[in-house]
Structure 1
């Protein structure tokens, strides 16, 4: 649960979901709850994340949601989240301020198309205060500063850095190997990178990282701590850890639902 405003406990990151595009049994796709000084940010809201959020936090008191990109495993649970904010018994009885939803440019139209398939095109923007963020801008959310950097993926995608009073957390989103991410993540206290693949894509069209590549990016960025995410529970996790530690040059961790990190 969130702490009362005024308590300086650092930036707390809770893993709600870390699966790749297919969620683990009992798991969820991309979703990370970030809290500091009573302010609450949800980073990504993929398959299964809304239910995981409800286990640890009141969804109506989330201040903002930030979406890295518009693949389903990073945003599709905004649909049930929107239904809860709009139509649950609590919503009908006690109307509250809408959380702010920050989406990449073009996100408003994407959600209108998704929800429009069942004749409710404005579902998401009525539930949230929807804003298409400026990828070169910053968002100030209480003690948290949120910044973005575009990274190469199959669609337009942004790595996200969240900086608080005591440290910084960088989430690489989904991407292929790239120097832009290294520079953006420079000196992060906690760097969380995807490790979807056991081997690089063979068709020449790269969109994801291997564990070894994630470790190399972490080392080049001089990250103080590296966590692998976006990796299936039935992958060879021992091998992934070994390869990432070899290229990172030190111990790494592998994300799991419920894991909590503080910076």
Structure 2
């Protein structure tokens, strides 16, 4: 299994960067996890977007899904759109996702843009999805809106993406013994009041508690003190960690 980081920024994308997007390839199967700001352009540098088998969206914040709009335009109206294979890529969105995309695209009078470009399915978080040799499972994690961590398992091992969340035991159990764990590490210090994100140190502690074999911090701005973020995460994780950058690849 090969995982390529297409975007790793928080809600404001880095200069030249992109928000949440992770390409998973296993044999002839290609899966995109999240499609935030700037991800579609990065995707086109790596694979043919028409050959992606499925897209899975962890939650409906714009930095995790808004590039499904240009993706939909490409599938529907690009010069080669008529020649694309059918069925189109499958798009798995959280419950309520169909209405959200109808509202977004409806602002310019094309409410069914996304569901006409993709085979749109609102996933049931308790059920697994089989995609070629891959199995995709979900677990709800605490964030500002309904959000799901995503685990992709294949013959060679497992990749777990924690999505956006505050500290929680559910994620630790869901990611137990995963081969590659990508955790958001948006913050240097915790938010005040209602929380929705992890700090650098908390991400390291969650990775250690889960027994992850490899930990990568993501959803962290490039203009943070990344050296200190690494030190704090490694102290809690108990070993070396990595910080995601666009086009970094990981093989399981």
- TM-score normalized by the length of structure 2: 0.99
Instruction: Summarize the Cα distance change of 1:66–1:94 in structure 2 as closer, same or farther, 3 Å threshold.
Output: closer
Identify the residue that residue 109 of structure 1 maps to in structure 2.
Answer: 99
Deviations 1:190-239 (A, max 9, x none): 0000000011002x110000010000000000000000000000001001
Whether 1:143 and 2:141 are equivalent positions in the alignment is: no
Q: Is the 8 A contact 2:50 2:84 kept in 1?
A: no
Supply the distance in 1 between the matched residues of 2:199 and 2:133 (Cα, whole angstroms). Answer: 34
SS of residue matched to 2:171: helix
Query: What does residue range 219-230 of structure 1 map to in structure 2 within 5 Å?
Result: 219-230=208-219
TM-score (normalised: structure 1):
0.95
In the TM superposition, what is the alpha-carbon distance from 1:38 to its structure 2 partner? 1.1
Corresponding position of 2:19: 29
Tell me whether 1:158 sits opposite 2:151 in the alignment. Answer: no
Question: C-alpha deviations, 1:220-263, integer Å up to 9, x for none?
Answer: 00000000000000001001000000000000000000100011
1:242 equivalent among 225, 228, 231: 231
Q: CA deviation at 1:97?
A: 2.4
From the superposition, tell whether residues 94 and 104 of structure 1 become closer, same or farther in structure 2 (CA, over 3 Å). closer
User: What corresponds to 1:45 in structure 2?
Assistant: 35
Q: Give the counterpart of 1:84 among 74, 77, 80.
A: 74
Computed over aligned residues only, the root mean square deviation of the Cα atoms, in angstroms, reads 0.7
Partner residue of 1:205? 194
Secondary structure of 1:22's match? coil
**In the alignment, does 2:218 pair up with 1:254?**
no
Task: Compare 111-120 and 92-101 and name the one that shifted more.
Answer: 92-101
Change (3 A) 1:95 1:249: closer
CA-to-aligned-CA distance 1:71-130 (integer Å, 9 cap, x gap): 000000000000000000100355642100000000000000000000000000000000
List runs of 5+ in structure 2 lacking aligned partners: none
Paired residues of 2:19 and 2:38 also in contact (CA < 8 A): yes
Structure-1 residue corresponding to 2:222: 233
Match of 1:217 in 2: 206
Structure 1 match to 2:109:
119
**Matched residue, 1:8:** none
Asked if 1:193 is matched to 2:180, the reply is no
Whether the aligned pair in 1 keeps the contact of 2:140 and 2:147 (CA below 8 Å) is: yes
